[in-house]
Amino acid sequence: MSSFIRLLGPLILAFEPSMDSERINPSPSLALSIGRSPDQASNGDLEAKLNELSEENKRLNEMVKAVYSNHTALHHQLMELTNSVPPAEKRKRKRMCANMTGIYTTSVRIDASSSSLVVRDGYHWRKYGQKVTKDNPSPRAYFRCSFAPSCPAKKKVQRSAEDSSVLIATYEGEHNHDPPTARDKSLPCFVSLGSSDSAVALDLRPHGFGSEVECVEFQRILAEKMASSLTQDPSFAEALASAISGRMFQRLHAQS
Contacts with DNA, residue ranges (CB under 7 A): 88, 91-92, 95, 118, 124-131, 133-135, 140-142, 146, 154, 156
Residue nearer to DNA on the CB measure, 10 or 139: 139
Cα–Cα distance between 201 and 123 in angstroms, integer? 10
Residue nearer to DNA on the CB measure, 160 or 229: 160
Residue nearer to DNA on the CB measure, 53 or 118: 118
Residue 169's Cβ-count burial label (10 Å; 0-12, 13-18, 19+) is buried
Cα–Cα distance between 195 and 192 in angstroms, integer? 8
End-to-end CA distance of the chain: 53
Residue nearer to DNA on the CB measure, 159 or 209: 159
Helix (H, G, I), strand (E, B) or coil at 19: coil
Q: CB of residue 160 vs DNA: minimum separation in angstroms?
A: 15
Packing angle, helices 212-232 and 234-255, rounded to 10: 80
Q: CB of residue 136 vs DNA: minimum separation in angstroms?
A: 8
Residue nearer to DNA on the CB measure, 58 or 92: 92
DSSP labels, 190-228:
B---S-TT---B----TT--SSHHHHHHHHHHHHHHHHH
Q: CB of residue 99 vs DNA: minimum separation in angstroms?
A: 9
Q: CB of residue 131 vs DNA: minimum separation in angstroms?
A: 5
Q: CB of residue 134 vs DNA: minimum separation in angstroms?
A: 4
Question: Which residues have a Cβ under 8 Å from the Cβ of 33 and sit 6 or more positions away?
Answer: 40, 41
